[in-house]
């Protein structure tokens, strides 16, 4: 009879490996990966954005992405993608409320927001990928995608808290699409096409450290003060004068899941822009900590296997001795 | 297309045209067609326009000049249309115009008061230039009267008041900060909206068309919230700009004479105010010399001269607001509906499968009671 | 305490016709699946599924892989009880359980090939240089692949016995204890990891379901589901093949399952209370409704089988059905209902997805029927008329 005793034995053995080892080595728990020292990224200041969509078409051109037809409430467009997708790596979306005539106001206003890869310091997609198709460059911090390695499992698509990597579904040979900060142009002395083309400097390219200084500078000025805004990339020399926006206190990407290399400033709260509220701890750190705790140098699984093998051997041995030609087998 | 109350002109009505306007009949009809098109009238309205020009009684016009450069008048006179000045002078009865009239001094002022008395409630008042209000209006006196007094006096019995040029329309260049003379728009002096044809200078067509509209239909054209005729100021320069495709594709000239500038790329980065300026410049151009004959067309960013708060106010190279996206209806919202949810077919299929499974389970459970079972404690097989 | 020795010829093929109305219907379902799959491999995954970037994982992953392998836990739970806990009396149900598991895992593997976009690269998972060991999915993939092989080895004696390869069978028999030990270890690893996979989704999974206890919750509910699958399979086989019901064994197995499920419920509520999200399950949302349906099904199953007449076939069968359903719902809810990647996204499986999942299930049942007719899987019956069943 299967008694309570045997059940307890079973539970102790079966769940033991997981239970014990998840408590045992807390030293293995890892924290968020820090940002690479020379990380490059983007600063998107929604108050500067005029909604010209030049960044959308420049991105498509720089990355060889096709045009997309979109049906919106206002009509049928070829230059207004509904969302990022397998065909679009970067899109400007607009929040609008009421009569939507006051820029960067929550009520009766509108605001632009950019959707593209955030280039997390501790990316979930990199942690998710079972075949190293998603990698984070140790120097620039750019999150790269390698089509040749990819198996198309879409765990990265599901895992990304910003919902950035996108798959193609209309071909037997699909791929994952995401912004790679125009890494292929860096070698040509150029940089992210969206920042390069932006006429107002709303999308600004540069070392993240400098971008953060620029954010500090903008925040230190009173809203409405006219100041010089760099265009293209920090230090390019190109700039223009415009009034400083009235920013919400949050800088999106500063702390979200351990920080990102793409930072957003906005005049309206980020939840209105469908930017998810995220904790400071990266899911990758949480997930990998637990996995490493369980599979720490495979000590627990091997130990558990030893116990199982010993028990199985003991229980099957007499049978083998009793009827040697038959053996004990399932 | 608007329906017109007037019947097409008879051919013989146009017989005197050649003599009266000093232009071939054919050219006159072409001119009428141009006016009708600017107004947005249909093709068969050409005759109505021609008839109005030929037969309508010439309205008396009183034209005042204040703080201005006379550019509006000059622009009107230099229009390339055949004998335009004749046309103006012959269509309307210009009873007072300081630049154009032969009379001077008391004689001129007498002509004004006489015309106002004779056409009381019927004459058209055109004002060119802003009105100085500083120092009790003493920056401008004509015939002993300040500009403020003159405007009020002439407007009192006018059938319509037209402010021509940006100065009269909203203050224009004279009102630019610090504005020592207190230059003020006509509408503010009169305390009521007036028909405005802003621009520095305004396109002569826009003025002329407004007048013809009044002659043909007997009323002023439809106006926007700032008193501007919507046929001319209903759209942003950006909307019809020939360089718009470069803007959409992100091809911007970054300095005068650079590669992009030479190739005719968008001038937004140079401070073009097209995206926040309402005017029909890209549609009709200036001077009848082709599509490039307007500021942006010949490589200079629009300065927004028709727009209060933009022209002469915003620095020339400061970037424009993009009013085409206010409100931003051509954009995806942050969270659009995406993906395929449940449909009747899929839900029905899942429900049917679930129902089958549960039904089968229940049926099986019912039958299980009737099964032979091995002896309790045994394993269902005979031991050897 | 060791199991009594059992000659292996106690199992025997049950024989009978292979083409019956039941197998014909199953074959038809498999045929429909093949047509849908042909479209999928020619025109892309979007042509037959409703998968999108908001729900990149749908029915095929959640049902065929996550749920399919959980029901396939029948193999390791029965092997564990029989050989590790040493309850030899369960021996007669080991082979059917292993067969169920083997088919379940094979189908899970097959559906991965259908679901991933670039299956020709799947070998990368097992190749150093590509393999990314921090990925939970890497662990799951390697572990499931390895376990499917282990299951094949565990089940191999049935083939060897059928084809009289006694030497190979003997050799295998000597090392089988190690294979069985691995066969218990691997499922505990990947079944818990199927829960851990959700950890990376972070706040995209509702806090009611998102917890660091996911590995334990998935593992414990898997055990319940695996045992339930054995009971359901045993009961249906008995009815369909008109064989005696292993009433005693099955009811005792179900009791073990119920006790593990009770552990699952205790752990789940303790975890919810510990994390302070217990009030959330009382909010009126679809998710909390689903939560209570799961909980009610688990609880009802436990009560049914642990109650006084829990050994009645009807009771433990219903309990098994309830527990399997509860586990299935728990997985669907955790992976799909509780998953929210941003406003505006919709997903419901398309007819094509349902057809493929249905076809896979049909294939499993078909393969099971064929296997027990041709291979020594089921316990041999004392009476000779046992093989004359339809």
**Predicted pLDDT of residue C7:** 43
pLDDT mean across residues, chain C: 88
Residue B374 has pLDDT above 60, yes or no: no
Chain B nearest-CA residue for C316: B365
Q: What is the pLDDT of residues A51-91, one digit of tens each?
A: 988 999 999 999 999 988 888 776 788 878 888 999 999 99
Question: Is B3 in CB contact (< 8 Å) with chain C?
Answer: no
Q: Are C297 and C325 within 8 A, CB to CB? A: yes
Q: Which residues contact B186 (CB under 8 A, 6 or more apart)?
A: B127, B130, B131, B151, B161, B163, B168, B169, B194, B196
Question: Is B337 in CB contact (< 8 Å) with chain C?
Answer: yes
Question: Is B378 in CB contact (< 8 Å) with chain A?
Answer: no
Q: Are A179 and A116 within 8 A, CB to CB? A: yes
**DSSP E strands: which ranges in B43-87?**
60-65
Q: Do C379 and B374 touch (CB under 8 A)?
A: no
**Predicted pLDDT of residue A292:** 83
* Closest by Cβ to C321, choosing from B336, B338, B361: B361
Minimal Cα–Cα distance from B329 to chain A, Å? 5
**Predicted pLDDT of residue B60:** 85
CA–CA separation, B175 and B131 (whole Å) = 9
**Predicted pLDDT of residue B352:** 92
Which pair of structure tokens corresponds to residue A135? Answer: 């990698």
Determine which of A224-233, B28-37, C276-285 has the lowest per-residue pLDDT on average. B28-37
Question: Is C335 in CB contact (< 8 Å) with chain A?
Answer: no
Chains that touch C (3 or more CB pairs under 8 A): A, B
Pairing outcome for strands B195-197 and B141-142: unpaired
Chain A nearest-CA residue for C257: A7
When pLDDT is cut at 50, 70 and 90, the band that residue B42 belongs to is low
Question: What is the DSSP track for C247-292?
Answer: HHHHHHHHHHHHHHHHHHHHHHHHHHHHHT-GGGGGSSSHHHHHHH
C-beta contacts of C40-47 below 8 A and 24+ residues apart: C40/A172, C40/C114, C40/C352, C40/C356, C41/A172, C42/A172, C43/A170, C43/A171, C43/A172, C44/A168, C44/A169, C44/A170, C44/A171, C44/A172, C44/A174, C45/A169, C45/A174, C45/C115, C45/C117, C46/A168, C46/A169, C46/A170, C47/A170, C47/C352
C-alpha closest to that of A156 among C197, C20, B297, C363: C197
Which pair of structure tokens corresponds to residue A254? Answer: 């500063």
**Predicted pLDDT of residue B372:** 54
Q: Are B274 and B254 within 8 A, CB to CB? A: no
Chain A nearest-CA residue for B320: A50
Chain B nearest-CA residue for C235: B368
Which pair of structure tokens corresponds to residue C209? Answer: 């379901």
Minimal Cα–Cα distance from C380 to chain A, Å? 14
| b (16+ CB within 10 A) / e for C123-143 | ebbeeeebbbebbbbbbbbbb
CA–CA separation, C40 and B4 (whole Å) = 63
**Predicted pLDDT of residue A147:** 94
Is residue C342 classed as helix, strand or coil in its secondary structure?
A: coil
When pLDDT is cut at 50, 70 and 90, the band that residue C223 belongs to is very high
Pairing outcome for strands B160-164 and B145-146: unpaired
When pLDDT is cut at 50, 70 and 90, the band that residue A23 belongs to is very low
* Closest by Cβ to C87, choosing from A2, A149, A325: A2
**Predicted pLDDT of residue A177:** 95
**Predicted pLDDT of residue B237:** 93
Q: Do A312 and C180 touch (CB under 8 A)?
A: yes
CA–CA separation, A261 and A141 (whole Å) = 8
**Predicted pLDDT of residue B276:** 92
Question: Is C55 in CB contact (< 8 Å) with chain B?
Answer: yes
Q: Which residue has the higher pLDDT, B4 or B161?
A: B161
Q: Which residues contact B342 (CB under 8 A, 6 or more apart)?
A: C348
Which pair of structure tokens corresponds to residue C347? Answer: 């997903």
| b (16+ CB within 10 A) / e for B321-347 | ebbbbbbbebbbbbebebebeeeeebe
Question: Is B191 in CB contact (< 8 Å) with chain C?
Answer: no
Q: What is the pLDDT of residues C334-348, one digit of tens each?
A: 999 999 998 889 999
Is residue A31 classed as helix, strand or coil in its secondary structure?
A: coil
Count of alpha carbons within 13 angstroms of residue A302, beta-carbon side: 5
Q: Which residue has the higher pLDDT, A59 or C388?
A: A59
Q: Which residue has the higher pLDDT, A274 or B217?
A: A274
Minimal Cα–Cα distance from A47 to chain C, Å? 23
Q: Which residue has the higher pLDDT, A221 or B49?
A: A221
Partners of residue A42 on adjacent β-strands = A205, A262
Chain A nearest-CA residue for B335: A274
When pLDDT is cut at 50, 70 and 90, the band that residue B56 belongs to is low
- Sign of the alpha-carbon dihedral angle for A65, A67, A71, A73: positive
Question: Is B275 in CB contact (< 8 Å) with chain A?
Answer: yes
Q: What is the pLDDT of residues C92-108, one digit of tens each?
A: 888 888 999 999 999 99
**Predicted pLDDT of residue B163:** 94
**Predicted pLDDT of residue B15:** 63
Partners of residue B63 on adjacent β-strands = B97, B126
Residue B52 has pLDDT above 80, yes or no: no
Minimal Cα–Cα distance from C143 to chain B, Å? 31
What is the number of CB-based contacts under 8 A between chain A and chain C? 296
**Predicted pLDDT of residue B20:** 65
When pLDDT is cut at 50, 70 and 90, the band that residue C5 belongs to is very low
* Closest by Cβ to B331, choosing from A61, A92, A274: A92
CA–CA separation, C319 and C303 (whole Å) = 8
- Sign of the alpha-carbon dihedral angle for B294, B296, B301, B303: positive
Neighbours of C60 (CB within 10 A): 24
| b (16+ CB within 10 A) / e for C254-290 | bbbbbbbbbbbbebbeebbeeeebeebbeeeeebeeb
CA-based end-to-end distance of chain A: 20
Chain B residues lying within 8 Å of C247, measured CB to CB: 373-374, 376, 380
Q: What is the pLDDT of residues B80-139, one digit of tens each?
A: 554 555 556 667 788 888 888 788 888 888 888 998 998 888 888 999 999 999 888 889
Q: What is the pLDDT of residues B239-272, one digit of tens each?
A: 999 999 999 888 999 889 999 999 999 999 999 9
Q: What is the pTM of this model?
A: 0.84
Residue C388 has pLDDT above 70, yes or no: no
**Predicted pLDDT of residue C6:** 44
For A319, the enclosing helix (H) or strand (E) is helix A299-322
What is the number of CB-based contacts under 8 A between chain B and chain C? 112
Residue A28 has pLDDT above 70, yes or no: no
What value does the mean pLDDT take over residues C37-46? 94
Q: What is the pLDDT of residues C294-351, one digit of tens each?
A: 999 999 999 988 877 777 888 889 999 999 999 999 999 999 999 999 888 999 999 9
Q: What is the pLDDT of residues A174-186, one digit of tens each?
A: 999 999 999 999 9
Question: Is C251 in CB contact (< 8 Å) with chain B?
Answer: no
């Amino acid at each position: 009879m299967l008694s309570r005793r045997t059940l307890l034995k079973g539970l102790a053995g079966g769940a033991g490996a997981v239970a014990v080892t998840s408590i045992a080595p807390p030293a293995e728990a890892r924290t968020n990966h820090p940002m690479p020292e020379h990380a490059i990224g983007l600063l998107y200041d929604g108050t500067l954005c005029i909604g010209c969509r030049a960044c959308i078409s420049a991105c498509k051109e720089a990355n060889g992405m096709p045009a997309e037809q979109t049906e919106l409430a206002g009509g049928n467009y070829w230059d207004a993608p509904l969302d990022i997708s397998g065909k679009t790596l970067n899109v400007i979306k607009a929040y609008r409320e009421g009569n939507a005539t006051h820029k960067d106001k929550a009520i009766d206003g509108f605001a632009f927001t950019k959707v593209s890869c955030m280039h997390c310091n501790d990316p979930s997609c990199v942690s998710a990928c079972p075949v190293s198709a998603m990698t984070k460059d140790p120097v620039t911090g750019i999150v790269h995608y390698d089509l040749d390695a990819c198996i198309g499992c879409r765990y990265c698509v599901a895992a990304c808290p910003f919902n950035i990597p996108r798959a193609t579904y209309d071909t037997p040979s699909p791929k994952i699409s995401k912004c790679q900060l125009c890494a292929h142009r860096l070698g040509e002395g150029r940089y992210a096409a969206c920042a390069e083309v932006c006429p107002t400097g709303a999308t600004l390219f540069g070392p993240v450290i400098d971008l953060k200084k620029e954010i500090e500078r903008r925040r230190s000025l009173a809203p409405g003060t006219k100041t010089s805004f760099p265009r293209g990339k920090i230090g390019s020399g190109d700039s223009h004068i415009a009034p400083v926006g009235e920013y919400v206190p949050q800088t999106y990407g500063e702390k979200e899941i351990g920080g990102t290399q793409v930072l957003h400033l906005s005049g309206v709260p980020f939840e209105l822009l469908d930017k998810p509220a995220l904790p400071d701890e990266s899911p990758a750190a949480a997930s990998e900590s637990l996995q490493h705790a369980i599979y720490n140098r495979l000590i627990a699984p091997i130990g558990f296997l030893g116990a199982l093998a010993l028990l199985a051997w003991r229980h099957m041995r007499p049978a083998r001795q009793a009827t040697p030609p038959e053996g004990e087998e399932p | 297309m608007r329906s017109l109350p007037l019947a097409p002109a008879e051919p013989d009505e146009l017989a005197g045209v050649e003599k009266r306007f000093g232009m071939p009949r054919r050219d006159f009809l072409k001119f009428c067609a141009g006016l009708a098109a600017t107004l947005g009238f249909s093709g068969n309205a050409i005759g109505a326009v021609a008839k109005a020009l030929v037969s309508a009684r010439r309205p008396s016009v009183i034209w005042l000049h204040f703080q201005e450069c006379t550019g509006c008048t000059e622009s009107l006179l230099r229009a390339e249309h055949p004998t335009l000045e004749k046309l103006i002078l012959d269509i309307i009865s210009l009873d007072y115009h300081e630049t154009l009239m032969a009379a001077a001094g008391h004689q001129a002022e007498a002509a004004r008061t006489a015309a106002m008395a004779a056409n009381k409630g019927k004459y058209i008042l055109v004002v060119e230039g802003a009105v100085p209000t500083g120092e009790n209006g003493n920056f401008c006196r004509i015939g002993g009267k300040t500009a403020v007094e003159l405007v009020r006096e002439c407007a009192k019995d006018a059938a319509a008041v037209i402010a021509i040029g940006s100065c009269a329309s909203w203050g224009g260049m004279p009102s630019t900060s610090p504005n020592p003379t207190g230059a003020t728009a006509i509408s503010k002096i009169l305390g009521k909206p007036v028909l405005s044809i802003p621009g520095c200078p305004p396109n002569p067509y826009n003025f002329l068309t407004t007048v013809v509209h009044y002659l043909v239909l007997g009323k002023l054209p439809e106006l926007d919230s700032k008193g501007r005729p919507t046929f001319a100021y209903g759209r942003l320069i950006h909307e019809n700009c020939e360089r718009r495709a470069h803007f959409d594709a992100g091809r911007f000239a970054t300095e005068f004479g650079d590669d992009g500038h030479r190739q005719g790329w968008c001038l937004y980065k140079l401070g073009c105010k097209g995206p926040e300026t309402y005017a029909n410049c890209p549609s009709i151009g200036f001077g009848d010399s082709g599509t490039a004959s307007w500021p942006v067309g010949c490589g200079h960013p629009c300065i927004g001269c028709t727009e209060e708060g933009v022209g002469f106010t915003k620095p020339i190279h400061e970037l424009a607001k993009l009013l085409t996206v206010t409100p931003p209806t051509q954009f995806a919202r942050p969270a659009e509906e995406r993906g395929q949810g449940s449909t009747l077919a899929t839900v029905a299929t899942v429900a049917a499968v679930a129902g089958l499974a549960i039904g089968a389970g229940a049926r099986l459970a019912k039958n299980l009671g009737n099964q032979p079972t091995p002896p309790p404690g045994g394993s269902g097989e005979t031991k050897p | 305490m060791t199991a009594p020795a059992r000659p292996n010829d106690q199992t025997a093929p049950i024989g009978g016709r292979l083409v019956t109305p039941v197998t014909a219907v199953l074959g038809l379902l498999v045929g429909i699946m093949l047509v849908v799959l042909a479209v999928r491999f020619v025109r892309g995954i979007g042509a037959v599924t409703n998968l999108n970037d908001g729900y990149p994982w749908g029915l095929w992953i959640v049902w065929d892989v996550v749920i399919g392998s959980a029901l396939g836990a029948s193999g390791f739970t029965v092997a564990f009880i029989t050989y590790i806990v040493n309850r030899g009396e369960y021996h007669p149900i080991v082979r059917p359980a292993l067969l169920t598991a083997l088919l379940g895992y094979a189908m899970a593997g097959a559906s991965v090939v259908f679901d991933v976009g670039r299956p020709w690269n799947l070998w990368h998972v097992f190749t150093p240089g590509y393999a990314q060991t921090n990925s939970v999915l890497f662990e799951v993939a390697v572990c499931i692949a390895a376990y499917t092989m282990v299951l094949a080895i565990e089940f191999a004696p049935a083939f060897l016995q059928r084809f009289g390869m006694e030497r190979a069978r003997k050799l295998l028999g000597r090392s089988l204890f190690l294979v069985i030990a691995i066969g218990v270890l691997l499922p505990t690893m990947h079944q818990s990891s199927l829960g851990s996979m959700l950890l990376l989704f972070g706040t995209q999974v509702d806090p009611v379901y998102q917890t660091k206890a996911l590995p334990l919750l998935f593992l414990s509910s898997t055990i319940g589901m695996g045992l339930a699958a054995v009971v359901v399979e045993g009961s249906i086989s008995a009815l369909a093949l008109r064989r005696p019901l292993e009433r005693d064994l099955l009811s005792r197995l179900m009791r073990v399952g119920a006790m593990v499920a009770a552990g699952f419920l205790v752990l789940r509520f303790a975890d919810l209370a510990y994390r302070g999200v217990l009030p959330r399950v009382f909010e009126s949302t679809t998710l909390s409704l689903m939560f209570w349906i799961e909980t009610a099904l688990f609880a009802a199953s436990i009560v049914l089988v642990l109650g006084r007449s829990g050994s009645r076939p009807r009771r433990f069968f219903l309990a098994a059905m309830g527990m399997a359903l509860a586990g299935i719902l728990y997985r669907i809810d955790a992976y799909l209902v509780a998953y929210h990647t941003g406003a505006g996204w919709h997903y419901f499986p398309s007819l094509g997805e349902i057809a493929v999942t249905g076809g896979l299930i049909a294939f499993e049942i078909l393969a099971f029927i064929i296997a027990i007719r041709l291979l020594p899987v089921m316990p041999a019956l004392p009476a000779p008329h046992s093989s004359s069943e339809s």
